Structure formats: C-alpha cells, structure tokens
C-alpha cells in the first residue's frame, strides 16, 4: 500500500534501557532504518565507530554544525550529540521509515522541523528506584555522574509527558513489541486512502 | 500501567472480510471484549444467537430504541442493527477495552457519543474487483443483492477515508496483526503519564 515514510523518534532517560529495546525492535520489524548519531563523547568499551555512534572530534562536530549537517544536535554532559542529515533524508525519500534514538532536546528540534511526519515514543523505566538501581549497576561512571544522570532523568521524565506514545520498560521483550506495534499502527494511520 | 479503557471501532464494507479478521484479532490479543450486535435480520446458516448476533424481532428492537438501550443503531438493507449499551459500558468501566464491528453509520454515532475515547479502524478490500468477486463467491445472496451490496460498499469506502486507521485486507493474518498492533499502540498512547 502506498504511504508516506515517517520518522519514529524514541527518547528515554539513561537507564530506561532504550538501547537494548531498540536493538530488539530492529530485529523484529523491517522497512525501517536506524539512524546512527554523531558524538564527541569517547567510545565506551565495545562501541564501534560508525555502528554505535559516529565518533567525531569537537572540531569536526563544530564544523558539521556550521555546514548544517545535523537535523538536530545538543550538548549533554559536556559532549555533543547530533543526527546526520544526509542519510536520514535519503532514506525517507526512498520510502523507508527512520528510527531515531535521541534525547528530549533533540526530539523537540525534530518535531519542529518535521511536524506531523514524526511520531514520538518515550521509554520510561518502571520506577525512579529501578532507574537509580540500573544506573548504579552499569558501573561505567562514578557516583557523581550517576547522580547527575538521575537528576537529568527526572527532568526528561517530565518532558516525556508530551510524547505521542509512552512505553514502560518493565520487560525488554514487551517494550520492544510495544514499539513494533506502534510502528506498524503508524503505517496504517499514514496509508494513502484510496485504491 | 494505569490507563483509560477505550472503544476500538472496526468498519468495512461487506466482502472486506472483516468478520474473519476480527475473529483472528480476538484470538491474538487479550484485555478486549467483542461487543455482540443486536439485529432483526434472520440468522444465516451456522450463526448462533447471542454469539454472532442477538437476534430480535422488529418489535423487540423498536422497544429497545425507545428505551435507549443501544449506543448506536441503523437500518441497513431493511434490517435493524444496533449495539447494546449495558454490556459495553460495564466492560469499559471495568477497564476492559471494547471492540465494535459496526457499519459507517454506526461508527459516526459512536464517534459523536464517545469522542476521543474511541479509535476507528477501516478494513478495506484490496480492490473493487476483488470485493465483487468475494461478494459473488459467498453465494448466500442473489445477484440483485450482490449488486446492492457492491454499491453500498463503494459508498462505505468513501466514508472510510475519515477513519483513524486504514487496514487493507490482502491476507487475513497480516490484517489481523495490523489491528492487534493498533490496539497495542493505542494502549501506549492512552497510558497515564506518571508513575
């Protein structure tokens, strides 16, 4: 069926488990391309350049901003994060939907730029207690960083109320199935209504 | 997660295959109750009173209208069809979603009465040719009735454009999965946004 491709924007605080959920989503549904963000933050162990992120120097990132190469960008915890414009527009133009995993600042910019062409999904942890536990367990950051992320998470949760869909990540499989269902439903909602 | 229960209204012309699709939907998702319509049309072979329809005499139906016992009703091809109010409101109040298989006239009444509490899904046949073939194949009606249904179907297709979601029934399994996804997505959309 003919329809317009769309942007699925997924946000959620650190510790909401959004990366794991999104990995399952991409395994479970076709016809959607996962955008790879650019960042100036150093790679964590195991992260692959070009796959998990496009790792850039601060100079390279600022040049990219200058040349309008990002559809959204933000500075979070002292590092830049941005979504490269070119591959995103190319996929949309080919009729392929695009999944973006970005923070609430970025989501606001995307909503402003793409309007009704984007659908927003917020992944929430089951509770603040569980969120704190997940952030501590990760062990890649010291206690100060964990507390800073927890504060930022509380702020993000407030912004989450404005999203189109709200998925509570209690179990990864269920949360992934929620998002797959949202993508599938959106396709029915955006279908062209004549034969 | 706490959320408000909602009405999923499914319409589609005769021959769209909506009854078969809805049967699969009910097998594939829980937490939703399928409303049983009342009608004055005579049972078709194999139809069970109280399960497929509540079969009423014209007198009984008109009394029901008088007592405001239907949330919507319509006269189609000389027979009355209506949705009993009591079980529908009881299920909604218990937090159970309700699925209604009704025509576009009825859907308009439901939308008027329930507003944002209802979500509308239109099941379309893949093409007008396929629709005509399906109606003839059914063999429960003569040629004049088939032509009348085909004309009514064309009119219904035009009304279908105003529905929230549009599902083309090319293959029953896929169409059912579309509707299951829509119900699941709607639950995420209507979730209460705080812990």
Structural domain boundaries of chain A? Answer: 7-189
Mutation for B interface: A1, A159, A166, A169, most B CBs within 10 A: A166
Residue A185 CA: distances (Å) to CA of A119, A135, A188: 11, 32, 5
Q: Which residues of B touch A195 (CB under 8 A)?
A: 124, 126-128
Residue A168 to residue A117: CA distance in whole angstroms: 24
- What average pLDDT does range A13-36 have in this prediction? 94
pLDDT for A146 equals: 83
Cross-chain residue pair A188–B121, CB shorter than 8 Å: yes
Residue B135 to residue B50: CA distance in whole angstroms: 25
Cross-chain residue pair A128–B182, CB shorter than 8 Å: no
Nearest CA distance, A142 vs chain B (angstrom): 27
The ipTM, to two decimals, is 0.89
- Looking at every residue in chain A, the average pLDDT score rounds to 92
Question: pLDDT confidence of A194, banded at 50, 70, 90?
Answer: low
Question: pLDDT confidence of A138, banded at 50, 70, 90?
Answer: confident
Residue spans of beta strands (DSSP E) within A65-154: 70-76, 79-84, 97-101, 118-124
pLDDT for B145 equals: 82
Q: Which residues of A touch B195 (CB under 8 A)?
A: 124, 126-128
At residue A2, does pLDDT exceed 60?
Answer: yes
Query: Is the Cβ–Cβ distance between B81 and B37 less than 8 Å?
Result: yes
Cross-chain residue pair B165–A185, CB shorter than 8 Å: yes
pLDDT for B179 equals: 98
Which of B180, B184, B193 is facing A166, going by the closest CB pair?
A: B193
Q: Does B132 touch chain A (CB under 8 A)?
A: no
Question: pLDDT confidence of B127, banded at 50, 70, 90?
Answer: confident
At residue A42, does pLDDT exceed 80?
Answer: yes
Cross-chain residue pair B185–A165, CB shorter than 8 Å: yes
Residue whose tokens read 């603040």: A128
Q: Which helix (H) or strand (E) holds B122?
A: strand B118-124
Q: Which residues of A touch B184 (CB under 8 A)?
A: 177-178, 181-182, 185
Exposure string (b/e) for A36-55, b if CB count within 10 Å is 16 or more? bbbbbeeeeeeeeeeeebbb
Residue of A nearest to B185 (CA): A182
pLDDT for B7 equals: 98
Q: Which residues of B touch A185 (CB under 8 A)?
A: 165, 178, 181-182, 184-186
- What average pLDDT does range A113-131 have in this prediction? 92
Cross-chain residue pair B181–A178, CB shorter than 8 Å: no
At residue B195, does pLDDT exceed 80?
Answer: no
Residue spans of beta strands (DSSP E) within B18-96: 32-34, 38-39, 54-55, 70-76, 79-84
Residue A185 to residue B177: CA distance in whole angstroms: 10
Architecture of the domain whose range is A7-189: 3-Layer(aba) Sandwich (3.40)
Q: Can you tell me whether residue A12 is helix, strand or coil?
A: coil
Q: Which residues of B touch A161 (CB under 8 A)?
A: 193-194
Question: pLDDT confidence of B147, banded at 50, 70, 90?
Answer: confident
- What average pLDDT does range A57-67 have in this prediction? 98
Nearest CA distance, A66 vs chain B (angstrom): 37
Nearest CA distance, A124 vs chain B (angstrom): 9
pLDDT for B180 equals: 98
- What average pLDDT does range B145-170 have in this prediction? 88
At residue A41, does pLDDT exceed 70?
Answer: yes
- What average pLDDT does range B10-23 have in this prediction? 92
Question: pLDDT confidence of B1, banded at 50, 70, 90?
Answer: low
- What average pLDDT does range A67-89 have in this prediction? 95
Q: Does B49 touch chain A (CB under 8 A)?
A: no
- What average pLDDT does range A14-34 have in this prediction? 94
Query: Is the Cβ–Cβ distance between B45 and B52 less than 8 Å?
Result: no
At A67-76, the pLDDT tens digits run 999 999 999 8
């Amino acid at each position: 069926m003919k329809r317009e491709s769309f942007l699925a924007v997924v946000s959620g605080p650190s510790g909401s488990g959004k990366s794991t959920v999104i990995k399952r989503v991409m395994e479970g549904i076709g016809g959607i391309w996962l955008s790879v963000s650019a960042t100036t933050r150093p790679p964590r162990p195991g992260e692959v350049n070009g796959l998990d992120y496009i790792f850039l120097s601060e100079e390279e990132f600022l040049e990219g901003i200058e040349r309008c190469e990002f559809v959204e960008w933000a500075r979070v915890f002292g590092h830049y994060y941005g979504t490269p414009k070119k591959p995103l527009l190319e996929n949309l133009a080919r009729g392929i939907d695009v999944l973006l995993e970005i923070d609430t600042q970025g989501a606001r910019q995307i909503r402003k730029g793409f309007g009704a062409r984007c659908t927003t999904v917020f992944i929430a942890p089951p509770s603040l207690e569980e969120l704190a536990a997940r952030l501590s367990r990760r062990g890649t950051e010291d206690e100060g960083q964990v507390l800073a992320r927890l504060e930022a998470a509380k702020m993000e949760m407030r912004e989450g109320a404005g999203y189109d869909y709200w998925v509570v990540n209690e179990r990864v499989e269920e949360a992934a199935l929620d998002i797959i269902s949202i993508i599938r439903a959106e396709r029915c909602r955006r279908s062209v209504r004549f034969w």
